[in-house]
């Protein structure tokens, strides 16, 4: 297993991330002296439910508990042993919905939370080699990355998948993931009976990429009630299969209640669902998911990702708000630097004192600048941070 870009894990931590991203492998490799139990094992799950103290007494004072979301109440026992300093814990979870909802107070100030997404583009080849928004990648390296872009957009970055050589094997693996981890395990984990409804929602999210998501208009189309749609969206969101862009044009108090845009956390999920999308949608999902992965592992200190839409309807694909500056970013399929691709950025300004940087990520291989807008090849995302 290759090294991941996530920061070194500290004791007493919870690693969150979707299925098959390598959470267990990461912990076992970094902490080989820890005992290991997984709640995917029926016997361990039953013991956790009926006699959690016995589970603790049968293991050493250093313990990995895998898939703890299968019995979130176990965190109460974890808290007790942490407070009494009897054990050191490393926990993993594939769905944060119950863990961070019912047990937030239990875990607060006791457990450090990390997020492990699928691999960033090029992560399997070694550590990052440059900063995407500040460093210029040599032309030969850009052209090499450009040749790999189509395959990256098609298959995504699940660790097991990026090590495969044959496309047929990659398609077969994604199909397996879809039928098991994306659908069956998810429905069992949170007691979803309507698998067809969940699949219909996934299909709708795919087709709605690049567009604002109106829950109120969705019910009639896929045959689900508004409360059910919200429940399923939460399940997908907290399973790290989708993520949301909030409207930056709204005030901070309104951003989280207004409609937003949903994207898939990895393009491999899109491919597994066989959703027919335009090249622009596939490209936008890929670029945004790559930036979201880097945000989750700590390369960008931003709480969320945003999009912007003016009163007149002019949109900017991504607003990345950092502590002291803001990046306004457009994503374009153009292969040459074109002033028209930056037209919405020229008129965009902030109502704050933060420094504003403007970028166009495009499909060419040259760097450039027009009136303060920096043009950056999408190929620079490869092995970039």
* Domains, the chain, ordered by start: 13-115 (3.40.50.300), 123-381 (no CATH)
Give me the pLDDT at residue 102, please.
56
DSSP secondary structure string for all residues of 214-255? -HHHHHHHHT--HHHHHHHHHHHHHTTSEEEEEETTS-TTTT
Give me the pLDDT at residue 298, please.
97
Q: What is the full per-residue pLDDT of the chain (385 aa) written as tens digits?
A: 799 999 999 999 999 999 999 999 999 999 999 999 999 999 999 999 999 999 999 999 999 999 999 999 999 999 999 999 889 999 999 988 877 765 556 676 789 999 999 999 999 999 999 999 999 999 999 999 999 999 999 999 999 999 999 999 999 999 999 999 888 888 877 778 788 889 999 999 999 999 998 887 788 888 889 999 999 999 999 999 999 999 998 676 666 667 799 999 999 999 999 988 999 999 999 999 999 999 999 999 999 999 999 989 999 999 999 999 999 999 999 999 999 999 999 999 998 889 999 999 999 999 999 999 999 999 999 999 9
Give me the pLDDT at residue 366, please.
97
CA-to-CA distance for 81 and 58, rounded, in angstroms? 13
- pTM comes to 0.95
SS3 295: helix
Q: Which residue has the tokens 């504003």?
A: 356
236-249 burial: b if 16+ Cβ within 10 Å, else e: bbbbbbbbbbbbbb
Task: State the Cα angle at 60 between 54 and 66, rounded to 5°.
Answer: 75
14, containing H or E segment? strand 13-16
Contact 293, 300 (CB under 8 A): no
């Amino acid at each position: 297993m290759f090294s991941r870009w996530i920061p070194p894990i500290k004791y007493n931590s919870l690693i969150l991330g979707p299925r098959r991203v390598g959470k267990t492998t990461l912990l076992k490799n970094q902490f080989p002296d820890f005992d290991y139990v997984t709640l995917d094992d029926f016997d361990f799950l039953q013991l956790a439910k009926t006699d959690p103290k016995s589970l603790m007494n049968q293991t050493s004072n250093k313990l990995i508990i895998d898939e703890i979301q299968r019995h979130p109440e176990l965190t109460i026992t974890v808290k007790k042993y942490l407070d009494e300093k009897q054990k050191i814990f490393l926990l993993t979870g594939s769905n944060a919905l119950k863990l961070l909802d019912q047990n937030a107070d239990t875990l607060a100030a006791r457990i450090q939370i990390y997020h492990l997404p699928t691999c960033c583009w090029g992560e399997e080849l070694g550590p990052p080699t440059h900063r995407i928004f500040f460093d210029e990648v040599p032309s030969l390296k850009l052209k090499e990355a450009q040749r790999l872009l189509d395959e990256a957009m098609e298959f995504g970055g699940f660790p097991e998948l990026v090590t495969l050589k044959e496309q047929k094997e990659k398609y077969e693996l994604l199909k397996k993931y879809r039928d098991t981890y994306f659908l069956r395990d998810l429905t069992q984990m949170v007691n979803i009976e309507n698998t067809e409804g969940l699949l219909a929602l996934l299909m709708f999210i795919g087709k709605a990429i690049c567009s604002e998501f109106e829950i109120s208009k969705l019910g009639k189309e896929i045959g689900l009630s508004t409360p059910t749609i919200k429940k399923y969206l939460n399940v997908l969101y907290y399973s790290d299969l989708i993520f949301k862009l909030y409207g930056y044009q709204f005030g901070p108090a309104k951003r989280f209640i207004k409609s937003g845009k949903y994207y898939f956390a990895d393009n491999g999920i899109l491919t597994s669902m066989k959703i027919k999308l335009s090249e622009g949608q596939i490209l936008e999902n890929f670029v945004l998911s790559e930036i979201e992965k880097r945000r989750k592992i700590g390369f960008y200190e931003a709480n969320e990702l945003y999009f912007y839409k003016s009163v007149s309807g002019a949109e900017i694909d991504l607003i990345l708000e950092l502590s002291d500056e803001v990046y306004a970013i457009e994503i374009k399929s153009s292969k040459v630097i074109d002033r028209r691709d930056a037209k919405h950025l020229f008129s965009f300004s902030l109502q704050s004192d933060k420094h504003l940087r403007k970028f166009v990520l495009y499909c060419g291989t040259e760097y450039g600048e027009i009136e303060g807008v920096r043009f950056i090849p999408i190929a620079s995302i490869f092995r970039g941070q």
